[in-house]
Amino acid sequence: MTASGITGVFAFSEQKLSPSIFVHGFPDFQLKSELKGTAQLDYTSLALSDGGPYLGCCSSLPDHSITVWNWENAEPICTQAQAGRDVFSLLFNPTNWLQLCALGTTSITVWNIEKSASFHTKLFTRNRLTPTAICWTTTSELLVGCAEGFLLLIDPESLSLSVLFNPTCKETHSSISSTCVEVVQTWKLEGPATTVMYSPDYEILLSYSRTVSD
């Protein structure tokens, strides 16, 4: 299931053979669209953009593809086979729907969606840590939480990575342009956070794990 507070819609998929994805309005719960893709079994992740009627989905079978739909007219915009293997979370850039981040069990991939074709560019992959949660910032950078306790900041344009929090060090150095970034509060969870999400006004941050939510 996924939702967009700005566009006022939420979407979910069926758990059965050849599932559909349903897009509903909120708070009226009116059905706006039904997307019938090629997935044979299920979808491992869904994402709605805040910049228009766009939905990203990751299918487990038959080809582990990532597909971006225009849910208003129920038409796929582009698809990439094998891009969704081991992916468990998708997230659109809230300020640029043409950027989609895919979080896998061992990698982070940012896809640029070309308007004129279905061609993609793989911008960034990192395998040394185990990513568990991602969150776009208001400046189109990516905050990445890792199972090992690290908090990373990735700039998908320059391919730069900064460590905002290192659990093995008392002091963490970060260099992001000329801006000083400081971690002001931390929470101890019983397990790695699997979902991190801002409210539409960016005043509230939700972090969720399988055992604890704050």
Note down pLDDT in tens along the chain; length 214 residues: 899 888 899 999 988 888 999 999 998 999 999 998 888 888 889 999 987 899 999 988 788 889 999 999 999 988 888 888 888 889 898 888 888 888 888 778 888 887 665 444 644 444 467 888 888 888 889 888 888 888 888 888 887 888 888 887 755 444 534 345 566 777 777 777 777 777 777 778 777 776 644 4
158: Cβ contacts below 8 Å, ≥ 6 apart: none
Amino acid at 137: T
- Residues 145 and 125: their CA atoms lie apart, in Å, by 15
| CATH class of the region 1-125 | mainly beta
Residue 120: per-residue pLDDT: 41
For residue 179, the 8-state DSSP code is: B
184: Cβ contacts below 8 Å, ≥ 6 apart: none
User: Which residues of the chain does CATH 2.130.10.10 include?
Assistant: 1-125
Q: Does pTM surpass 0.75?
A: no
